[in-house]
Structure 1
């Protein structure tokens, strides 16, 4: 789209980054199923490899279909650039990769997806990195956890599984005061409900597998760069501020300015880690994003109706949905997430672990899968699946105790969903 008027979200989710194909006039973005791209001549090839010219070299690095998705996501999130990759977990490693080093740490919220907790508490140790987990409602504890070796602060805008909502602005203020980038996982909220960059986030990561694609067909991830962080303000981020040996001493921040992180993510992150998004996945996600606002409105509408019904049911102990007036986060949700808090929440059953298992097995419309953000309603017992690797204390902190079921509300008829939940509760709890 040309520079000029400021377009609304509904327009941008369809048009941002996309132009008619110059060769054929095709209106939908083609799937460029190509590994490599022909250089004009030897000088052109050398300029591309030396980062003196932008273009396509090899699809591990850049691909025209993926490039459209990157531009669209950067536009919707209010960033300057984006790097797409193979999954949400890949996006998290890609986000940390230019920032961390042996002996360095990231301070992370205790309310994270179980796989992220495992990745941060176990897997990143193999890189010599570490993570400190803190309740981000306690800003003093967050400040105290940051030390001279901290290189990033990490949280989810709307946390999986419990639908807990983070005050991104308050957390960003703490990160800013410490001279650190804030990374926000915006998977559950999507840029339709929350734009973390406008609230002070430095980087936004997504599992595009979820609401952005919305149809449960492909995996993918993305890192959106705000372009607002000064990587040269200290010596903490040498990958971005110091000479890069692989490019003859080029300094990414000095050379690329507010696009330094984006260029590093492609030229080094994708080059060496190889966490590439394939063009077909990008195509499916682009099609999904075209209806993102419509779907999210229905997800929220259905979630409010279903969560309200569940909260009033005597077989239910509690519901964690921040969109309920009874939620301790109701005021924060209204202030920070005025369009709603998504379609994800947990339900605690009075029958405990056994009731949860029977409940999940008895549902008919809801699909029992390890995913969320689909058009279909989904359910899972987190303690025995997605959060199984965590300790009981970690499960409780993440909102995934043994008596808790995670529900991802889809866009079906809400009354049908309630009837299905009712019959499953009857079988599980009597």
Structure 2
């Protein structure tokens, strides 16, 4: 597909990165199920390994099917490049890896997916990294948390599980003023609802497992580079600005400019961490992206209908959907997510923990799974599952208290979803 910056989102989600297969003319992107690629000659091989020529060496690094997906997601996000990997958690480590060193820290929002909080608060300590958690609605506290050892600021555009919308413009202004990149997890919003790069984000990460694939078949992750950050403006990011010994002193930012982070993610990140996306997973996700806008429109429409019904039910304490006029985050929808507040929110039941368990067990259409962003409606009691590693204070801060159920609204008929919720609430409150 030729460069066409004026093409609309619906066109780009189908065509970006994809071209008819030159060998067969196949219109759908083939699954290149291969580990290695034949070099033209010894000189060609040397040029590839020296990063003097772009091409395929080994599928831990690059694969033609995955390359199409990388270009498509980067295009939809408005980025310079992207690196796909094996999961959303892998994408988070891939994003931090070129930025961090022992003793460095990342300042992260308290409103994050429970697994991310665990990864940041526990696992990254083994690398000598630290995470400082701050309520990003408190901009003064965020600014105060950034110190000389901070190498990134991290948040979610639409936070999982509560569906809270982050004021990305305010957060990026703070991170840019401090000279550190803003990393935004855009999984819950997708590039159809939110473009973090337009709001100042340096990097965007995705769990492609969720809405981008949309069918609950494969796991995957992606890191999108805006190409706008000056990695050489200070000595904070030597992996990108200083000579790289493994490539004879090559400086990634000096050599690759706006694509420095992307090339580093492949040449160093995937080479040494090995968090590779397999080509079949990329194929499933490519097919999913072709209907992304259609699905997100229905997700938003259904979520608004269901959340409104739940908010008016006497058995419900409160609903966190940002699309509701009652939400304190409703005023951010038009600015950050102008096409809708997504399909994810939580509902707090008056019966507390026990009612939540009965409610989840009584649903028929909703699937009780540890996932979100599927065409199917999904439900989970976060406090006893995805956020169970956290103490109650952390659960409350993340919007996953004991009386809270997370709901991911699918694309079924809204009236059928409401009927299922109604009968489950009746059993939970009996």
Give the structure-2-normalised TM-score: 1.00
Partner residue in 2 for 1:146: 146
Partner residue in 2 for 1:217: 217
SS in 1 for 2:159: coil
Within 5 A, what are the aligned runs for 1:51-200? 51-200=51-200
Partner residue in 1 for 2:271: 271
Partner residue in 2 for 1:202: 202
Q: Mark the CA change 1:327 to 1:276 in structure 2 (over 3 Å): closer, same or farther.
A: same
Partner residue in 2 for 1:280: 280
Any unmatched runs of 5+ in structure 1? Answer: none
- How far did 1:164 drift? 0.3
The total of aligned residue pairs comes to 430
CA distance in 2, matches of 1:61, 1:210: 23
CA distance in 2, matches of 1:242, 1:90: 25
SS in 2 for 1:335: helix
- How far did 1:332 drift? 1.2
- How far did 1:3 drift? 2.5
- How far did 1:5 drift? 5.4
Deviations 1:318-348 (A, max 9, x none): 0000000111111111222111011000000
SS in 1 for 2:23: coil
CA distance in 2, matches of 1:175, 1:4: 32
- How far did 1:427 drift? 0.1
Partner residue in 1 for 2:293: 293
Any unmatched runs of 5+ in structure 2? Answer: none
CA distance in 2, matches of 1:270, 1:57: 12
More deviation, 1-10/346-355: 1-10
Deviations 1:251-279 (A, max 9, x none): 00000001000000000000000000000
SS in 2 for 1:43: helix
CA distance in 2, matches of 1:192, 1:170: 21
SS in 2 for 1:132: strand
Which stretches of structure 1, 4 residues or more, deviate above 4 A after TM superposition? none
Q: Mark the CA change 1:361 to 1:13 in structure 2 (over 3 Å): closer, same or farther.
A: same
Deviations 1:72-91 (A, max 9, x none): 00000000000000000000
- How far did 1:423 drift? 0.1
CA distance in 1, matches of 2:85, 2:341: 26
- How far did 1:365 drift? 0.2
Partner residue in 2 for 1:347: 347
CA distance in 2, matches of 1:201, 1:336: 12
CA distance in 2, matches of 1:174, 1:189: 22
Q: Mark the CA change 1:317 to 1:4 in structure 2 (over 3 Å): closer, same or farther.
A: closer
CA distance in 2, matches of 1:202, 1:34: 33
